[in-house]
Amino acid sequence: MRPKSTLLPALLAAAAGILPTPAHAEPHRESTIQRLSVPPERAAERPTVAHGDVTTERRPVQPFQTPGTLAASEACAVGDFASVTGTALVKAVKAATTGCVNTLFGLTGSDANRVFREAQMVTIADALRSDATTYAGDNRASTAQLVQFLRAGYYVQWYHPDDVGEYGPTLVNTIRPALDAFFANPRAADVTQANGEILAETVTLVDSAQENARHLPLVRRLLDRYDSTYNAFPAMLAAVNNAYTILFRGHHLPDFVNAVHADRRIFDSLHAFAIRNANLLGTDRAYLVANAGSELGRFLRHETLRPDIRPRARDLLTRSTITGPTGALWVAVASMADTHDKSQCAYYNVCDLQTKLSNAILPITHTCGPTLRVRAQAMSTTELGTTCTSLRNQDAYFHNVAKDNGPVADDHNTTLEVVVFDSARDYRTYAGPMFGIDTNNGGMYLEGNPATPGNLPRFIAHEADWLRPAFEIWNLNHEYTHYLDGRFDMHGDFTAGMQTPTVWWVEGFAEYVSYHYRGIVYQNALNEAGRRTYALSTLFDTTYDHDVTRVYPWGYLAVRYLLQHHRSDVDTVLRYYRTGQWQAARTFLKSTIGTKYDTHWYSWLSACAQGRCDAECTADDTRALGEDCTRSNRSATLDDYDYLYLWLPAGVPSLKLTASGGTGDCDLYFNTTTWATTSAHAHRSTNGTNTETITVTAPPSGYGFVSLHGKQGCAGVTVAAEH
């Protein structure tokens, strides 16, 4: 993703990365100009560690799907809740699925008022109080739906207070006994998946209702009772981890801060939890320990608490090291000390933290050329060379597709730095404090201000350690496209480019170049095409507040469709983007194009879902093939040829030629110097039907020659080229 923006996409965790990534997490603001990249394949990342205070305001958390049976969002009728009150409302909420209730987080306007006005919330809070006394440790009484409804109400009222109306003492005096009753029920302490799913949501509800101060004992209890039996139940781990949200966000509430001053036992619980569970460091549950260190260190922000926190924080630092399995804990505590107690950095041995981390974690610097260098944690000479070659060759491919005329005005980003961590875990551990970014994602491009001479853009990535022994830098070509697109297509910095919705292009084009340059089928996008979810005209409104599926695969589909079928329109849009005429581009997309392509778009989506995305080639010479286009109704008589050709720009990593359909049996041949025949060819495919495939790795630039040879004669064959 190419953020040059302060607004992060909607898939970032509200608690600044201390939570496992929810299905729908809320956006928050950071001070770093950055771009997030979360490809759909890795949208649900493992938990991450918070680095410093990256939020400036307290907000309710969006719907959070704990691992288990709580359903994802699904359609339901708002009227089922808006048109009823009292007992009927309770019955409606309990009768709904959790997935249905999850959709209510998106309500606005009169719907938000009718569903979530205070009287409705009081009714459901009272129902939760009543049910909590007989809670059986599972969802047989639809307790989860009541909790989700309340969380949704607090969320919608926070963001749309004028729509919903005020929440006052009546709701406060109802939600308090409801939460008290739930947590007092012994079954709320059951270490099971069924209880964990509801417990995790109810712990988050504490924060939504701003009852953080009242439930400090709950946080201590969750931390103190955790042991290895929890590890068998993902939802119980989520419940423990959600307790950190109560602490993280409580700092914005004066009564919480006062409560901590009055009873400081939470410091002992956090400190003891980190020590007692040090065996989790280096495992996929290390986030529980690192978050304990983070939340202990975060109390350093309060000067009057520092005497209590300093020795505990330093103790955790001495028990851990900057690298190795305990690195996550060391970085978590060091980051908080650096953020909130910098004047005492020598006491913690964390002075000049970014340099200290850089020297320890990124020892490798490799220059690919005058405009490109790589800093890495652990890459071999061969891997460095492969990476440089891939990026250099992508330049030619990008320019062939973008058809640009050089850098946009005032862009001085002549040199790019690529930072590569050894694994996703290392990225999540170290990239935050080193570069001031959130790491609950698959990578980040930091553009800076391209108009500033000497500005150094960089993208931060990591190796795809789950693919080893194969070597791959996750999002390498996607992120490099953002650099090229920002330099040659998008005038100004990211903030300028986001004045109007340009995400459809920014992310869609990065996905398009990444997949097509590498010659990889974007199967997730083809699957989405079959769902026909969005009109093309709708996708022009995509922002980072939308979900990753709309941002990435649907952005890709929109860009691919326009490049294949309406190239001149793409050229017009890019002329506007390259000169910073954002509103003119917006008017062209929404008014000149508008909905006029939507009917054909849906037809194309249907074909694309069946693997037939390519359009018919339009060059006047019917022998000419092109990228992502086909020549249909081709034929060749017995032992004769049907000749075709294509132009290959420099830097194409892979060329895929296919023949399919029709009747008879023809074979497929390819040559790089003369017309391809059975006696003069570089590659061939000679199956017993018309279904033939040739893949050419790193074909030379220039003309390539393709032919169908009539082994038995054929007709109605489709020939396609992809590169």
pLDDT of residue 47: 31
Low-confidence residues of the chain: pLDDT under 50: 2-59, 64-73
pLDDT of residue 405: 93
b/e code 43-71 from CB counts within 10 Å (16+ = b):
bebebbbbbbebbeebbbbbbbbbbbebe
Measure the CA–CA gap between 238 and 230, rounded to whole angstroms: 10
Measure the CA–CA gap between 124 and 137, rounded to whole angstroms: 19
Whether the upstream peptide bond of residue 700 has omega within 30° of 0, thus cis, is no
Among the four given CATH numbers 2.40.10.120, 3.40.630.30, 2.60.120.380, 1.10.8.50, the one describing domain 615-722: 2.60.120.380
Neighbours of 444 (CB within 10 A): 29
Phi, psi angles (nearest 5°) of residue 566: -140, 55
> Mapping DSSP to helix (H, G, I), strand (E, B) and coil, where does residue 490 land?
coil
What distances in angstroms separate CA 58 from CA 22, 112, 210, 247, 297, one per listed residue? 18, 21, 9, 12, 19
pLDDT of residue 630: 85
What distances in angstroms separate CA 615 from CA 530, 534, 626, one per listed residue? 17, 20, 10
Strands 615-616 and 372-376: unpaired
Strands 416-421 and 5-7: unpaired
Helices (H), 423-475: 424-435
Give 48's DSSP letter: -
pLDDT of residue 48: 35
Domain 365-608, architecture per CATH = 3-Layer(aba) Sandwich (3.40)
pLDDT of residue 649: 85
How remote is the C-alpha of 287 from its chain's centroid?
19
Domain limits, the chain: 59-250, 365-608, 615-722
pLDDT of residue 665: 94
Measure the CA–CA gap between 344 and 306, rounded to whole angstroms: 11
Neighbours of 473 (CB within 10 A): 24
pLDDT of residue 63: 52
- Here the tokens at position 246 are 């109560």
- Here the tokens at position 121 are 């919330």
- Residue range 661-684, pLDDT digits in tens: 788 999 999 999 999 999 999 999
- Residue range 85-94, pLDDT digits in tens: 999 999 999 9
pLDDT of residue 75: 65
Give 187's DSSP letter: G
- Here the tokens at position 262 are 């009055």
How remote is the C-alpha of 428 from its chain's centroid?
14
pLDDT of residue 27: 24
